[in-house]
Amino acid sequence: MLGANGRTGRLVVEQALATGHTVTAFVRDPAKFQLTGERLSVANGDARDLDDLVAALEGQDAVINTIGGAERKLIATTTAALVAAMRKRGVKRVVTMSTFIATPNFRPTGMMRLFPRLARGMAKDDVAGIELLEASGLDWTIVNATLLKNKPATGYRRVDADKEVTGRDHVNRADVAECLLAALDDRSTFRRSLLITGH
């Protein structure tokens, strides 16, 4: 589990443990990771470092990745390292969280409509990561979520390919976590990008 110490990642870990999964949480600072459990182990490392990822992937069946942030080229750099590490370990399955801004469904509104280059720039790193996954040969699923809210789960729905989403659409992190876990064993989502929003 990459991004395990993030706001969505922690929810993924909690839900995974609650449903019987064995989880390895990959974090930069284990001292900041407060979750515990019989089926939980913690691996320390940097997701940009190939050797750290290779070590953490030993014995793993799949990866869920919720890494995000404003750091320049973070998504592209960590995705490239993850793809290489998964190939080295022979792990094929990866489910990654991304943003609705990187999808063709996104319709800029407000200031983003006035400055479309700004909207494209916000998603540039996410798009680079998506392209790396799509070319990887791995069994990937990309879950693009609308604006994230920190509220209890209320359910999510998939957005049809011909439907638009804007910055006014939102989904709760707990529902995104549920979707990421549900996709893990759903072969119909292999090598597909999903777009989800709240009810």
124-149 pLDDT, tens digit per residue, is 999 999 999 999 999 999 999 999 99
**Nearest alpha carbon to residue 96 among 197, 28, 20, 183:** 183
Q: How many CB atoms lie within 10 A of CB 91?
A: 19
* Residue owning tokens 């792990």: 91
Per-domain residue ranges of the chain: 7-198
Q: Which pLDDT tens digit goes with each residue over 90-109? A: 999 999 999 999 999 999 88
Q: In CATH, what number does 7-198 get?
A: 3.40.50.720
Taking CB atoms within 8 Å and a gap of at least 24, the contacts of 77-81 are 77/48, 78/2, 78/47, 78/48, 78/129, 79/128, 79/129, 79/132, 79/133, 80/132, 81/47, 81/48, 81/49, 81/50, 81/53
